[in-house]
């Protein structure tokens, strides 16, 4: 199964960011000010005045392999909640298989993943009478492979989103998290009305 990204919401726009910056003088908007928004946003970002970008948000639902999830967790100024095998039984056995692997190695990974999933459910069933449901759930997950997929609710303000893209939408990032970042960026670019058009242009991404 491929990693999956869904943009489930956003708050604010280029105008929100500009108005935040103009708070130091006057937030009142007129047509003249609206025409100055692209230049203002570019100036703010170019000169490191990044606080106004924290006033707008993007919100995603993300299904990723555990390795990519760990990369997400490193961005501590993002807000992240994830499903937990400690508190729930993972009914759906989702796992990630890299597209660029040879077929033989993809098959080996599928076999390894499915074996782990079978052992997870077997351990859960057999350990529950011995250890109780809570302990069985939190310990049976040791059979889950590193490529197992979990779902996360991820929210960035636009300043932290830029930092995430700088580090993860990069040739130096692991392929899987780079693809996640690219899908997030694509989803934001495709928001109806292009509310962050000038912000994305200022980032030059």
Mean pLDDT of 200-204: 95
Res 7: pLDDT = 98
Mean pLDDT of 130-147: 87
* Reported confidence tier of residue 77, pLDDT bands at 50, 70, 90: low
* Reported confidence tier of residue 59, pLDDT bands at 50, 70, 90: very high
Res 67: pLDDT = 82
* Selection from 142, 138, 95, 97 nearest residue 119 by Cα: 142
Handedness of CA 38, 204, 194, 10 (dihedral sign): negative
Res 88: pLDDT = 64
Q: Give the residue carrying structure tokens 């077929």.
A: 103
* Reported confidence tier of residue 145, pLDDT bands at 50, 70, 90: confident
Whether the per-residue pLDDT at 18 is higher than 80: the answer is yes
pLDDT, tens digit, 9 for 90 and up, residues 168-194: 999 999 899 999 999 999 999 999 999
Contact 202, 41 (CB under 8 A): yes
Res 91: pLDDT = 66
Give the pTM: 0.83
Q: How far is CA 163 from the centre of its chain?
A: 12
Measured in degrees and rounded to the nearest 5, phi and psi for residue 9 equal 175, 165
Res 115: pLDDT = 92
Res 84: pLDDT = 62
DSSP label at residue 144? S
Res 54: pLDDT = 95
Res 30: pLDDT = 76
How many CB atoms lie under 10 A from the CB of residue 154?
25
Q: Which of 33-42, 67-76, 146-155 has the lowest mean pLDDT?
A: 67-76
Res 86: pLDDT = 62
Average pLDDT, the chain: 89
Whether the per-residue pLDDT at 46 is higher than 90: the answer is yes
């Amino acid at each position: 199964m491929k990693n999956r990204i869904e943009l489930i919401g956003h708050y604010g726009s280029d105008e929100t960011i500009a108005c935040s910056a103009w708070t130091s003088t006057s937030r009142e908007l007129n047509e003249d000010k609206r025409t100055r928004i692209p230049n203002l946003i570019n100036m703010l970002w170019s000169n490191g005045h990044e606080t106004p970008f924290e006033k707008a948000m993007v919100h995603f639902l993300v299904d990723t392999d555990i390795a990519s999830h760990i990369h997400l967790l490193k961005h501590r100024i993002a807000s992240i909640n994830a499903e937990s095998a400690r508190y729930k039984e993972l009914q759906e056995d989702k796992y990630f298989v890299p597209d660029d692997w040879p077929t033989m190695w993809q098959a080996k990974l599928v076999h390894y993943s499915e074996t782990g999933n079978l052992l997870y459910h077997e351990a859960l069933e057999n350990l529950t009478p011995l250890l109780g449901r809570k302990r069985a759930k939190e310990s049976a997950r040791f059979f889950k492979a590193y490529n197992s997929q979990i779902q996360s609710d991820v929210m960035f303000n636009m300043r932290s989103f830029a930092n995430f893209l700088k580090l993860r939408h990069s040739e130096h990032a692991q392929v899987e998290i780079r693809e996640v970042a690219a899908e997030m960026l694509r989803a934001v670019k495709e928001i109806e009305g292009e509310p962050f058009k000038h912000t994305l242009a200022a980032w030059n991404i």
